[in-house]
Structure 1
Amino acid sequence: MPHSQVQLVVTGDDFGYCPRRNRGIVDCFLQGAISNVSLLVNAAFAKDAAELAKRHNIPIGLHANLSEGLPICEKLQKGSSLLNQDGFFHGKMGFRKMLQEMQLNMSEVEQELRAQVELFQELTGHLPHHMDGHQHVHVLPEVRDIFARVLSSHQIKFTRVPIELGLHDCSWIEPHLKDFYLQVEKDSLNSVEVFIKHDIRWPDAYIGLTTMGKNMSVSRLKNALQCSMDTILRREIRAGATAPSPIGTSLQPRCVTMELMVHPGYPSLPDEGGCGEGPDDFSQSPERLHEFHTLNSSELLEFYKEKNLRLCAFKDLCKPPFSLLK
């Protein structure tokens, strides 16, 4: 079962975080290195980012944030289970700890998610083309059910399911990060049934956990993309005799869909940006710039052409068949 084409969504996350991040993401888009962005509406420069997206016609979705900075919902700003003693979200691991200890009020999670969708619409003039979770909070237990309900009620059809092929074999990832990524994968697998139930879609393959920051290189991106394409083809060939293709017949080629999550930008200045607490260490490090240069590599852009990978946005995708998850 040959593939006529691969639709590749290259999503620049954390749009709105700071002016230098915004500028780097826009430059990446204009140079053809990314094709989609994900907006943090509670970030310090979200309004500027939304205006840049309008000016340059950049496809944009919502990067729902429950773990960093301040909430959007005014009611929750005055006191909430989502906030620590300093009045900020609990952080990436703090949020997970509070969830595990059943200390979070799920109705407040829903209020905040809905408030972020509403602000996104106010800033951009339209609903998100897709919606995922900052630091992958959207696939966590209980949160995923609320997340799916919010997407369904707003008819937002696409999300991210961060299950990456080859994750278990990546020796270059630091042990604590690998443990976190493997937990994200487990949570994502447990989210599949919930998202399907609400008719929420996602690409056939995802790449991004193993290639973040300093771990990104042209060779690793090429290997990850090729591995994903090969795996999809093998699984479809095995299933082809019994499973109909999404376009009606197992003898016809179909378009494969993939997402590459990236974080390009120019390093943040120490006191500029963030989501209420200033920019984090990753944003101030050279790792953002490293991603920027890697994504703009002529070798990588030529690889896209060679493999018939067409960069596009979530709003352009054909309906994914969930082929990797059956």
Structure 2
Amino acid sequence: MMNVNLSPVCRQQRPAIMPQPRMMLVVTGDDFGYCPRRNQGIVDCFQAGGISNVSLLVNGSAAKQAADLAKRHNIPIGLHANLSEGIPVCQSLQQSSTLINQHGFFHGKMGFRQALKRGEVSMKQVELELRAQVGLFVELNGHLPEHMDGHQHVHVLPEVREVFAKVVSDLRIPYTRVPVEPGLYSCPWMPAHLHKFYKQVEKDALDAIPVFRRHGIRWPDVYLGLTTMGQNMSIPSLHRALSYALAADPSSSTSSSVQGSHQPVVTAELMVHPGYPSHPKEGGCGEGPDDFSQSADRQHELSVLKDPSVLALYCQERVQLCAFRDL
């Protein structure tokens, strides 16, 4: 039996006698703090055993409420670093900076990438904003993030990844996310524009690996979540994703959790976005909620993750839900 300090949700699900797990799985609810309805859905999902970890948007309109809920329910929490949506946290960057457009908001998911490609983004300002977001996280939660990833995967982008890794390393935040998903290209249902975007995300993530390694940052053996987002989340799609993950070699070049020794189990993170759909004009990061947050996909993910059949699937495949601190 592995000697791990299981999080509350893991202890809750663990039977009296549990065989050796094949996988330790962190199920992360992203965008915690985006709006009250997202917060409530994430808490409901955690209490039902559907997620085991959350990632907080500190510039979200309901970030303080989210931090209070995490404390009340003892939810493991990390930072969802945001450089693409809403308003910067760092006050000196809110009036005039390379991170914002003429309206005072971040450039957006694709706008940020385009500005970066044109060489128009100051890495000094990126670092100031990332450190300000960590500072606000500590102010809200009373401790450093247990992990730190990037909203819309900005943390693996060229140049940004170097700054991100330096901040994470300097502050001794132990874990990040590397969005390279096995089986990503064997999904015929995926729209062409998403396939193209995910292919670029994977390339950026692979290029980020040596940078993260150099800074001593860790991440699970396997990442999952791109193929199971929104309406693509189902019990069969989750089973498929878990099968790919369980077949992964923990000593592969994309993994950092092995650190030169053989792991008896695969470690993995599943990125999810459960919640109740945002009301129009309620929530967001300063600009109001986007279509993604207002869509029925949020509640669909919540319903699937809470389905007893998913928990039975974890049991059947000997998958143990946990937090990053349990890896």
TM-score for the superposition, normalised by structure 2: 0.90
Instruction: Return the offset for 1:256.
Output: 1.7
Q: Deviations over 1:240-293 (max 9, x none)?
A: xxxxx7685x6xx61320000000000000011000000000111100000001
1:9, 1:312 within 8 Å by CA — same for their partners in 2?
yes
Aligned pairs (5 A) from 1:254-269: 254-269=264-279
1:1-326 matches, cutoff 5 A: 4-232=21-249, 254-317=264-327
Q: Which consecutive residues of structure 1, in runs of 5 or more, have no partner in the other structure?
A: 237-244, 318-326
Post-superposition offset of 1:108: 0.2
Aligned pairs, number = 304
Structure 2 unpaired stretches of 5+? 1-19, 253-257
Per-residue deviation, 1:214: 1.2
Q: CA offset at residue 209 of structure 1?
A: 0.8
| Map of 1:320 onto structure 2 | none
* Partner Cα separation in structure 2 for residue 314 and residue 93 of structure 1: 29
Poorly superposed stretches of 4+, deviation over 6 Å: none
Q: Partners of 1:52 and 1:172 in 2: how far apart? A: 36
Determine the C-alpha separation between the residues in 2 that align with 1:145 and 1:254. Answer: 31
Pairwise CA RMSD: 1.6
Q: What is the rounded CA distance, in whole Å, between the counterparts of 2:322 and 2:45 in structure 1?
A: 14
Rounded Cα–Cα distance in structure 2 between residues aligned with 1:217 and 1:303: 12
Q: CA deviation at 1:219?
A: 0.3
Could you say what secondary structure the match of 2:247 adopts?
helix
Quick one: which amino acid aligns to residue 44 of structure 1?
Answer: S
Report the 3-state secondary structure (helix = DSSP H, G, I; strand = E; otherwise coil) of the residue aligned with 1:273. Answer: coil
Query: Counterpart of 1:20 in 2: which secondary structure?
Result: helix
* Structure 1 residues 6 and 186: CA distance shift in structure 2, 3 A: same
How many percent identity over aligned positions? Answer: 62
Secondary structure, in 3 states, of the residue corresponding to 1:232?
coil
Residue identity matched to 1:206: Y
Deviation of the 1:217 alpha carbon: 1.0
Shift of 1:126: 0.2
